[in-house]
Amino acid sequence: MKNPADRALAALIVFSHETLGLSPNQLSAIGLALGLLAALLAATGHIGAAMVVLAVSQLVDGLDGGVARRYGLQSERGRLIEAVVDRTCEIAFFLALAAAGLATLKIAALACIAVLLVTLGERASGFDPGFKRFMMYFGYALYAWAGVPGFEIALSVVFFANLAGFAVGTVLADYRFQGEIDEAVIVRRDFEAGSGIARRPDDPPTFLSKLFS
């Protein structure tokens, strides 16, 4: 098992699949139910209980992918279900914090948008800053122990990290694409040079290219 999370959860992965007979999609469904329960608890003001249920839902969320990888049950549909479940739980929890008055609706909605943008861009960029739910524990710690609007701060961090993640992701994807285009030109140019084909004349130098050459 290459994935460090899979190694840490190895016993639970085996137990949930071999003893309880749960498939990855069934685990995703349980994770979704727990995530929505956490949001309901948060919205009704039981924030301590909500954090505990959120942690359990995150644990179950780690098991579905682990079972899929360990038992060769990975599929494109499973990945899609996992992404939908994760985003649904996160968005429900963010909005629940706003409903409970623990954060403003504006920052909760913006954090949701930023998280969805990263999901939209991830297929092209392969980049996701992650740690969305971990930030909720950080927010709770600030709220419970430091008496500051911790969830507002945590959602602001989620918003900025994911917005920056989306922007950087688009640049990374475009950079890779440009690299492939350039590589094809370099290979063709080298082939033409090796074959004795006359190469296209260079563009006339500019002020800058004169300055640096």
Partner 1 sequence: MTILPHLALTTLGIQALGLEGADIALAYAFGYGIDLVDHPIKLPLYTRKNGRKNETHYHWRTPLQEPVALLWIAPLSVYLATAVPVLFFISHFALDYMVSYEKRPFAPFSLYSTEGVLTGYSDAAKEVVVTSLCLAGSFALGHRQILNFIGGLFG
Among 3, 44, 75, 209, binds partner 1 (CB under 8 A): 209
Phi/psi of residue 157, nearest 5 degrees: -65, -45
Segment contacting partner 1 by CB under 8 A, of 24-32, 39-47, 93-101, 167-175: 167-175
Cα dihedral: 95, 101, 102, 108 (round 10) = 30
> Residue 76, interface with partner 1 (CB under 8 A)?
no
> Residue 190, interface with partner 1 (CB under 8 A)?
no
Q: How far is the CB of 57 from partner 1 (least distance, A)?
A: 26
Pairwise CA distance, residues 140 & 3, whole Å: 28
Q: With CB under 8 A, what is the number of residues at the site for partner 1?
A: 35
Pairwise CA distance, residues 54 & 34, whole Å: 7
> Residue 167, interface with partner 1 (CB under 8 A)?
yes
Nearer to partner 1, 13 or 118 (CB): 118
Nearer to partner 1, 6 or 122 (CB): 122
Amino acid type, 30:
I
Secondary structure string (H, E, C) spanning 29-76: HHHHHHHHHHHHHHHCCCHHHHHHHHHHHHHHHHHHHHHHHHCCCCCH
Q: How far is the CB of 119 from partner 1 (least distance, A)?
A: 12
The contact pattern for partner 1, residues 169-188, with x = CB under 8 A and - = no contact, is -xx-xxx-xxx-xx--xx--
> Residue 117, interface with partner 1 (CB under 8 A)?
yes
Among 12, 33, 73, 124, binds partner 1 (CB under 8 A): 124
* Residue 197, CA distances (Å) to 16, 180, 188, 191 in order: 65, 23, 11, 9
Amino acid type, 185:
V
Sign of CA dihedral 33, 39, 45, 46: positive
> Residue 115, interface with partner 1 (CB under 8 A)?
no
Binding site for partner 1 (CB under 8 A): 106-107, 110, 113-114, 117, 120-121, 124-125, 159, 163, 166-167, 170-171, 173-175, 177-179, 181-182, 185-186, 202-206, 208-209, 212-213
